[in-house]
Structure formats: structure tokens, C-alpha cells
Amino acid sequence: QTTPKPHVAFLSSPGMGHITPLFELAIRLVTQHDFQVSFLVITTAFTPAQSEYLNANPHPDLHIVDLPPVDMSGLVSDDMELGTRLSLIVQESIRPFRSILSELKGPKLRALVIDIFCTGVFEICNELAIPVYSFFTASGVLFTLSLYLPSMDREVEGDQYVETVKVPGCNPIRIQDLQEPVWNRNSDDYKWYLFHCRRLFMATGIFINTWEDLEPVSLKAVKHEPFFLNIPTPPVHPIGPLVKQIEPAVMVKYEKEMIAWLDKQPKDSVLYVSFGSGGTLTREQLTELAWGLELSRQRFIMVVRKPSDYAAATFFNVGSESDDPRTYLPDGFIERTKGVGLVVSSWAPQVAVLNHPSTGAFLSHCGWNSTLESLKHGVPMIGWPMYAEQRMNATMLSNEVGVAVKMHVVGDKGETVVARREEIKRVVQMVMEGEEGKKMRSRAKELEASSRTTLSRGGTSYET
Ligand code: BUP
């Protein structure tokens, strides 16, 4: 009689930013380590992009299990901050969690893997004796801050953090770089985030989507700094960079055309511009960006979506917008940049673009998935952070890692500053043609090589 394969369940909060790394871990457990996985999907606030991604690579040992949709009317509103909204959706969706787990097909669960917004499952799993591993899908910088947050919260008075944050063993974080929820102690988002951070300590272990060569400072702090040893932090397992694989098979016509266009461009000559699935610019900023790109005379692919002050933008409408970008880009921009630039509405095959030899840099919001995808493919970045922990990421990537230059979009008081076309032109030219760009590209190539090593058999992330 053969022993059944170890059975592990996954639960992710909605949104590609969290689903992607958890699903990539699930795929690897199944294809490289002989596990079977039940991947539980919260169907509320689900987008076409998410279901396309989850259904792209069927595998007999990877079961997608849809949780019953929940009615969130009256519980969430459009003006609610993202973390609060996610926490509430998860809270409602896991009400029947005990019966969901008991109905899973396959042998008894050996573990459950969750993301930071799913910490409401600890009690039930405890009763059922199922170990819970938390997969922290953001950077090591945010991870160490998150472990420190409950202690920091106890020591501070007042509504806001006003001094540079000094997480033990880590580089100081400027107040302007803190994500908004951490900044404002009265906000619901802060309270929810603090709640989840406190509960991180209930995990049997914590996976983190990074690796030693990218974030030595944070990982060393967690391992050796007395503060973290004393709290005590559960065992921390760096397993990154786990990013979406290239999926040429599922590309639709306009995506194939983009890649065909890239095929005709010289090596490292194209700037890829995208602000992630949650990022929108104002109309004024989008105009400046378009002019900056045009004046730079560099090749580009720009993913655009409706400006934030054009119509209500929501976090979950990705892939559903069909408005013509001509209505919000400068008059004649698309015609004048024809042949040099490509404008795509809303969604691009990002990993395939970053993997393409013609892509020379990524102007990015510095979301952690986008960052890892860029570095895994050896592409340097122009950091244009928008929300959440992206400002910390951009600072770390430019000051510590040397793979990015930051666009000046954050003022001294943390306010958003409009980047002007001349500055955009200067930074784009510097990265695409200048010495600074060359240095960053060579550093990004080093990290590409190191990411390959760590994920290969015998490498630290693979073995972990
Ligand atoms: Br937008 C976009 N194509 O056009 P986020 C995103 N993605 O393939 P991050 C595309 O979605 P945040 C597009 O490659 C990544 O794997 C992208 O993107 C893919 O996440 C995934 O939401 C998620 O931009 O930022 O970069 O971690 O901080 O917003 O979660």
C-alpha cells in the first residue's frame, strides 16, 4: 500500500497580489515536491483575471475549491480602505470554515497556508489540530516592521507616528515611506493591520517571499536580533522569489501582438510602464507622464487605466475596463508615438514582457510581486510608489539594493507630488541610456542569476 501524498490547503484573500504567490507555492509543492493541494478560493470580489490565472494550469493534485460567495452589501463600501475591505470579506467568507475543511477531498490535512488577511482561521485550525503557516507575501522590510508593530504600538502615544521608525536590526524607515495604514493609528486599516500582525505569532511557521541576496538586512535581523528572538517569532522560512510563470499559451490576441512588437525592438531598449492592478494616476499626472515619455524619445509599453479623477476607480475592476485611452491621454499622443510606444488598456502579460530581451527597464509602483518579477528577469526599475508599502520598497530598492531609481512623487510630509514631464524625461533617459542605468542593469542581472540558484534543486529557497 502506498502512502498518500501530504495534503495541504491554501487560503488567500482576494486580489492577485496575494493569490499569485500562494498559488505559485501550491504549484511548486505539487509539481516539484509531490504534495496534493486544495486551493480554497474566496469568490467574493473575484475578477476575471484571477479565475483565468487559477485555471490556466490544471493539475490532478491541485484542486481549486470555491468558497460560497457572501453578501457584503451593507458591510463594505467603495470608500473603505483596502485592508479593511479585505479583512471583512475574509471574515464573512470563513464563517463556515470548519465544514469547508471537513468536506475537503483527500487525506487528512497536514497544514493550512494563509496570507496576512486570513488570520481569523487560527482558532478553528487549532481545535482541529491543523498547523497554520502564514505566507507573508510582501517584502522583508514590511515583514520586520509588521513583527515590530505590536510593540511599537504599545510605546507610542497620539494618533500618528511622527518619528523615523527604527525596527531593531533594520535600516531606519522614514515616516513618509510608511504605508498609510501604519501612519494613522486611528484608521480602521491600521487597527485591522495591527490585529493581523499580533496574530502572526500564532503561526506554526512563516514563509516569506524573498531571499537572502535581495534582503540580507531584514532576514539577518529576524534570525539574530535579540528583539525578534525574544518576542518570540515563529520560525521564518524565506522561499522567494515565487512569481507568476510565463504563460504564452493563455495569451489573447492583443497580448500576442505586444510580444510580436517587442520581438522587433533592439535588446534592452523598451521601458515597460505599469502601476499594478490597484494603481491609478490623476488626469494631470497621466498627462505629464505621457509627455515625459514622448520627450524622452525612448521606446515604451505603457499600461494605462482611467485616471482616478476621471471616474470612480475600484480595486476589483481590473480587466473589465474597455474605455478608449485616447479619451484621457494627451491629444495626438498615440499617433505621435506610433512605432516607438505601445499603449495598452488596463492589463498586459507582465511576466512575458519582463522576460523579453527587448525590455530594458520597468517603471513600476514597486508592489512586491512586480518587484520580484522584475528582478527575477534582470530588469532594473524606476520606482513610482503609489500606496501600501510601496514607498518602503522603492527606497530599499534604490538605497540598499541599487536596482532602482526613485521618481520624486512623495513630498517631505508624505503628500503625493506631481512628477513633471522634464523630470520624467530626465529619469527615463538616465535609466535607459545613462551610466546609472547600466550599473542598475548589471546589479539586476546579478539578482536574476541568484534568484535562479536559490530556486533550483539544492538552492536555499527550494530546499526550505
Ligand atoms: Br497590472 C498587471 N498584468 O497588467 P499587482 C498585473 N499583472 O500580469 P503587486 C499582470 O498581476 P500590489 C498586469 O504580474 C503580478 O503577478 C503581475 O499585480 C500581474 O501586484 C500580479 O496587483 C499582481 O500589481 O502590487 O505588484 O504585488 O502592491 O498592488 O499588490
Indicate the top mutation candidate among 254, 350, 366, 374 to test ligand 1's pocket, ranked by most ligand atoms within 8 A of CB: 350
Q: What is the pLDDT of residues 111-155, one digit of tens each?
A: 999 999 999 999 999 999 999 999 999 999 999 999 999 999 998
Question: Residue 251's pLDDT is what?
Answer: 84
Q: What is the pLDDT of residues 251-298, one digit of tens each?
A: 889 999 999 999 999 999 999 999 998 889 999 999 999 999 999 999
Question: Residue 447's pLDDT is what?
Answer: 98
The Å distance, Cα 154 to ligand 1 centre, comes to 34
Average pLDDT over the chain reads: 93
Task: Give Cβ neighbours of residue 169 (< 8 Å, ≥ 6 apart).
Answer: 144, 217, 220, 221, 224, 225, 227, 228
Which of 7, 115, 189, 377 is catalytic? The answer is 115
Per the annotation, the verdict on 153 as an active-site residue is no
Indicate the top mutation candidate among 12, 13, 16, 246 to test ligand 1's pocket, ranked by most ligand atoms within 8 A of CB: 16
Angle between helices 283-296 and 421-433 in degrees, nearest 10? 40
Cell matching residue 300: 515604451
Measured CA to CA, the distance from residue 299 to residue 338 in angstroms comes to 10
ipTM of the complex: 0.97
The Å distance, Cα 157 to ligand 1 centre, comes to 36
Measured CA to CA, the distance from residue 187 to residue 181 in angstroms comes to 7
Q: What is the pLDDT of residues 311-325, one digit of tens each?
A: 544 445 454 444 789
CA 53 distance to own-chain centroid:
15
Determine phi and psi for 299, rounding to 5 degrees: -75, 145
- pLDDT value at 227 more than 90: yes
169's enclosing H/E stretch is: none
Q: What is the pLDDT of residues 155-166, one digit of tens each?
A: 888 887 778 899
Which of 7, 18, 63, 365 is catalytic? The answer is 18
Q: Give yes or no for a contact between 202 and 119, defined as CB atoms under 8 angstroms apart.
A: yes
Question: Residue 182's pLDDT is what?
Answer: 66
Q: Are strands 36-42 and 381-383 parallel, antiparallel or unpaired?
A: unpaired
- Nearest residue CA, atom 4 of ligand 1? 347
Per the annotation, the verdict on 18 as an active-site residue is yes
The Å distance, Cα 215 to ligand 1 centre, comes to 21
Cα 394-54-62 angle, rounded to 5 deg: 115
Question: Residue 181's pLDDT is what?
Answer: 60
DSSP string, 395-462: HIIIIII-SEEE-S-B-TTS-B-PPPHHHHHHHHHHHHHSHHHHHHHHHHHHHHHHHHHHHSTTSHHH
- Nearest residue CA, atom 8 of ligand 1? 350
Q: Which residues line ligand 1 (CB under 6 A)?
A: 16-17, 20, 244, 274, 276-278, 303, 347-348, 350-351, 367-370, 373, 388, 390
- Nearest residue CA, atom 7 of ligand 1? 350
Longest dimension (CA), the chain: 71
The Å distance, Cα 368 to ligand 1 centre, comes to 9
The Å distance, Cα 365 to ligand 1 centre, comes to 10
Q: Against a cut of 0.90, is the pTM above it?
A: yes
